[in-house]
Structure 1
Amino acid sequence: MPTLAQAPAADQRTVLPLERTVSSIPRPPSPQPGDETPAKWEYPSPQQFYNALVRKGWETPEESVETMVEIHNFLNEAAWGEVLKWEARDPKVDLDKIELARFQGKPGQLSPKARVHLLAAYFFPSQFSSDPPFDRHDWVVLRPSGKEVRYVIDYYSAPPEKDGSPAFNLDVRPALDSVGSIKERIVVAAEGAWKDWKKREGERR
């Protein structure tokens, strides 16, 4: 999403597309006078994506970059959809005016919830997966009221689909930065536990 170099990397053999895809994720206007910021975030082109990977020192087959960009874009669209589900729980929030103010990738930095899950997997391996998330993002959402809400997103690999296509699980939730977010997390967790209990009861009958 940020501005990245479009020039080919050193020793690059494959010509990669330079076109960028416009996301469905709204962004706030720039506070800088004269800066015509697009109304929605743009994803990096395959060339920009590859350059970013090279800069980080990650080995990436050039022929796989375009597929990786498609997966990257798909996951972020799915994450935004999950964010909107959380925001929709507040009837006073106008979803059409929700914007993604900023974001930060934190690969390798486990969220507190991911750490708890890994600890649970150590003691209860049959109930919890021991695979850590392969990526983490922190997104700051701007509401029409001017309030900012930080969301934590853990990206997990899942068993592939029947046709061999890769599958993923996203754990999207508001960060525990405020009393309101803590209450919302507790309510959602309680609702999930209630649904699971009702399902088990239904299966027993």
Structure 2
Amino acid sequence: MGNTAITKVQMEASKRTAGASPPPECPMHQKHGDNISASAVPPHPKMHASGGGASECPVKHDNSDVNPLNMMPPANQQPAPDQPFPLPTDRQTSTIPKVTEDGTVQFWQYPSQQMFWNAMLRKGWRWKNEDVSQKDMGDIIRIHNANNEQAWQEVLKWEALHAKECGNPRLKSFGGKAKDFSPRARFRSWLGYELPFDRHDWIVDRCGKDVRYVIDYYDGGLVDKDYRFALLDVRPAMDSVDNVWDRMRVAYMRWRYELLGKFNNSAEDNKVSSAGSE
């Protein structure tokens, strides 16, 4: 993620955790659908440091050399002229598989701390206006990476509905739309709920079929020990019959699960009441 809005929230989250007793940092969300089946998860390496590849942090630019898949310019690992401290240039490989021209198994890579710093400067952020330290940058990267990992797991829960037709969905492209609020987010705001601080649209390749997902990011307060602080609302965009049908199926499953839960709780209460009157 690379929008200014999320950068600010991540900075604030990092500062909030500086003196907190629980370990710090970042995101996630409510369940949609059943648990993902094992067949829907492609093989992937454990997350590790790496030195090349595409970044998982989309930033909008007008440059002709911007990668259209993630809206990122070529990796800039050079320190900024007035940078107050050195930053690591190692990058972490995600567990999110990417679409490749030759069909080989590859995974998206996250930006290094130096790349993230340079990206923030390109968007107008100035470190002199913030009380930021080397540790803060490390926390921000952990928040950023955890955010994307959780978003992908939420996508896979939806993709589990199509596990028989495609057992290895892959992320094709993505982009940020921080101020382009989704209809669902706007409707929630009319009901008195806060607007999301960021939005991303992800295009998932479902074995040759492009499926768009909308991800709204809400502030969840203090970060937890797994570097999570955002609440994610992840769902297929309502731009196809299949996506609308999936959302109807999941809505029904959630309604049925909640109804059965209330029924079972009521039955248990009746048993306890009967036993106490004997």
- Bin of the TM-score, shorter chain as denominator length: 0.7 to 0.9
- Cα contact 1:175–1:181 (8 A) shared by 2: yes
Whole-angstrom CA distance in 1 between matches of 2:200 and 2:105:
22
Given the alignment of the two structures, is residue 85 of structure 1 paired with residue 147 of structure 2, yes or no? no
RCO (CA 8 Å, sep 6+): is it higher in 1 or 2? Answer: 2
The structural deviation recorded for 1:109 is 2.0
Which blocks of at least 5 consecutive residues in structure 1 are unaligned? 32-36, 122-129
Sort the Cα spacing of 1:81 and 1:17 in 2 relative to 1 into closer, same or farther, 3 A: same
Q: Which residue of 2 aligns with 1:186?
A: 248
Q: Deviations over 1:29-59 (max 9, x none)?
A: 247xxxxx98111000011011111111235
Aligned residues: 190
Q: Which residue of 2 aligns with 1:132?
A: 195
Q: Which residue of 2 aligns with 1:158?
A: 220
1:113 counterpart SS class: helix
Which one of the candidate residues 136, 142, 146 is aligned to 2:205? Answer: 142
Which one of the candidate residues 117, 122, 127 is aligned to 1:55? Answer: 122
Q: Which residue of 2 aligns with 1:173?
A: 235
Q: Which residue of 2 aligns with 1:34?
A: none
After TM superposition, the score normalised by the length of structure 1 is 0.83
Which blocks of at least 5 consecutive residues in structure 2 are unaligned? 1-54, 56-71, 270-278
The structural deviation recorded for 1:9 is 1.9
The percentage of aligned residue pairs carrying the same residue is 41
Structure whose CA Rg is larger: 2
Whole-angstrom CA distance in 1 between matches of 2:99 and 2:173:
9
- Cα contact 2:78–2:114 (8 A) shared by 1: yes
Q: Which of structure 1's runs of 4+ aligned residues deviate more than 6 A?
A: none
CA RMSD across the alignment: 2.4
Q: Which residue of 2 aligns with 1:11?
A: 82
Whole-angstrom CA distance in 2 between matches of 1:39 and 1:138:
21
Q: Deviations over 1:60-110 (max 9, x none)?
A: 524312111111100101111111110111242333x31111110112221
After TM superposition, the score normalised by the length of structure 2 is 0.62
Sort the Cα spacing of 1:41 and 1:162 in 2 relative to 1 into closer, same or farther, 3 A: closer
